[in-house]
Amino acid sequence: MRVVLIVEYDGTDYCGWQCQPNGLSVQEVMENCFFEATGEKTVLTASGRTDSGVHALGQVVHFDTALEQPAESFKHVFNAVLPPDIKVRQSFEVAKNFHARYSAKKKTYVYRTYISPIELPLKRRFAAQIFGKIDMDKMLSAKKLIEGTHDFAAFCASGSSAKSTIRTVFSIDIERRGDDIDFYVSGNGFLYNMVRIIVGTLLAVGYGKISESDVANAISFGERKNLGKTMPACGLTLCRVEYSEI
Amino acid sequence: MRVVLIVEYDGTDYCGWQCQPNGLSVQEVMENCFFEATGEKTVLTASGRTDSGVHALGQVVHFDTALEQPAESFKHVFNAVLPPDIKVRQSFEVAKNFHARYSAKKKTYVYRTYISPIELPLKRRFAAQIFGKIDMDKMLSAKKLIEGTHDFAAFCASGSSAKSTIRTVFSIDIERRGDDIDFYVSGNGFLYNMVRIIVGTLLAVGYGKISESDVANAISFGERKNLGKTMPACGLTLCRVEYSEI
């Protein structure tokens, strides 16, 4: 039986989703918990890696099991042994050909920021501090250049192993409430650090540090140098992954 | 010179504001940081203790110093050495007769809750998990019994050393957004655990576990036994303290 898990985690204390030689990963913790609870060894496959320190509200994970029990009960199996910063919100059976990564059609991330001259104790865990006066209209104009199907080579951290750098960004929604600005970014897939570079770039436009034409040139010619900085991991949360099948 | 600090802290890893023989307090950390930064020993006086694990968005603290520098600069003096979970948002000079505790006229706390069958990794730090179907109308009706000037002896944890148990609750505002319910409670002062017992009591009414008359009797006759449970510390944040002088 193939089972899907919808997983929420606070990524602060983890080196990301995927097992790494240095540092504890969410995957490793979950696989160990499953073995501890059931005695069965399994491999968990997620919709994608999240980087070190990145959070998830709805990471989608699949695994195969020979255990004969209702798929819905695996939620409780995991939660009984998982630490408080990782929990399974749902578990259910899927078709054998479902794949958490390859079947994904749409992913939505939120990047949370707050404007403050000092790093705030009550916000720092799940949002990134930003400074100064930001021109929202400039950001709302620049985000239209990023939406759509483009070669996002310039929006990709070095060291990425992606074969193609063409991706479709379905939408970028920027929500401001007082000093909090949240960026919702939906796409069919993202390159390494792509969401964090998109947000850094929109903020650089909002501060007037770079122009809309810098963004247009980056998309046309793949030039990273005139884009904004990569924002820190703490502000990023994988909200949800959508599939046509489930 | 007497200086006031507006302090924000994530109380998760502290035993509360006040120095305790067992466990690290916010006060102790701040006094040590000040000594480390300036070489001057000082005692910080807060508007009130916050309990172990309780947070503050705007705790008000005063201290006296012989250092000759602008009061505004003490914000930076503290922040340069404070850990990331405690920060000073403002510092300014006040009259010598100002007292963070005795001069306080109004305190506002928020108690944050979320409805979920499992404890959620992204909410658990600053909100308390609650269960099931809640009747908002019953809570909105019961909160009116608590607002006003009453003897709150029944809403006080045992072990409290308060001389009088009469307090005025100016207002209780209950805000619901989806599965999140926030309780804003303002008063001229609060007994030990009083806000957490008020919220536990309103939730008990909302669940139908106790009736409005149980609440009325508790206020009239000081009977604790028919009230709700004391809610956990993690959901409580001291929002602001108001004074007539500053």
- B51 carries an active-site annotation: yes
Can you read off the two tokens belonging to residue B17? 């504001």
Which residue among A57, A88, A120 sits closest to B122, beta carbon to beta carbon?
Answer: A57
DSSP-derived letter for residue A233 is G
Yes or no, beta carbons of B8 and A120 under 8 Å apart: yes
Give pTM, 2 decimals: 0.93
For A122-185, give the DSSP string.
Answer: TTTTTSEEE-S---HHHHHHHHHHHSEEEE-GGGS-TT---S--EEEEEEEEEEEETTEEEEEE
pLDDT of amino acid A246:
63
Q: What is the mean pLDDT of residues B46-68?
A: 96
Distances A184 to A57, A131, B6 between C-alpha atoms, Å: 13, 20, 32
Q: Whose CA is closest to B188, among B105, B246, B244, B111? A: B105
Judged against a pLDDT cut of 70, whether residue A174 lies above it is answered with yes
Q: Which of B10, B13, B51, B173 is catalytic?
A: B51
CB proximity B120 to A under 8 Å: yes
Q: Which residues of A touch B118 (CB under 8 A)?
A: 79, 87-89
- β partners of residue A6: A60, A90
Q: What's the complex ipTM? A: 0.91
Q: State whether A55 and B122 contact (CB < 8 Å).
A: yes
Q: Is A70 helix (H, G, I), strand (E, B) or coil?
A: coil
Contact (CB, 8 A) for A4 and A91: yes
Exposure string for A41-79, b = 16+ CB within 10 A, e = fewer: ebebbbbbbbbbbbbbbbbbbbbebeeeeebeebbebbb
Q: Is B121 within 8 Å of A79 when comparing Cβ atoms?
A: no
pLDDT in tens, A105-162: 999 999 999 999 999 999 999 999 999 899 999 999 999 999 999 999 999 877 666 6
Exposure string (b/e) for B37-73, b if CB count within 10 Å is 16 or more? bbeeebebbbbbbbbbbbbbbbbbbbbebeeeeebee
B13 touches chain A (CB under 8 A): no
* A119 in contact with B, Cβ within 8 Å: yes
Q: Which of B79, B203, B85, B95 is nearest to B139 (CA)?
A: B203
Q: Which of A74-83, B110-119, B150-159, B191-200 has the lowest mean pLDDT?
A: B150-159
Between chain A and chain B, the number of residue pairs with CB atoms below 8 A apart is 51
Kindly list the residues from chain A whose CB atom is less than 8 angstroms away from the CB atom of residue B85: 121
Given the structure tokens 């979970």, which residue do they identify?
B85
User: Closest Cα partner for A146 from A114, A112, A127, A174?
Assistant: A174
pLDDT at res. B51 = 92
Is the Cβ pair B8, A121 closer than 8 Å? yes
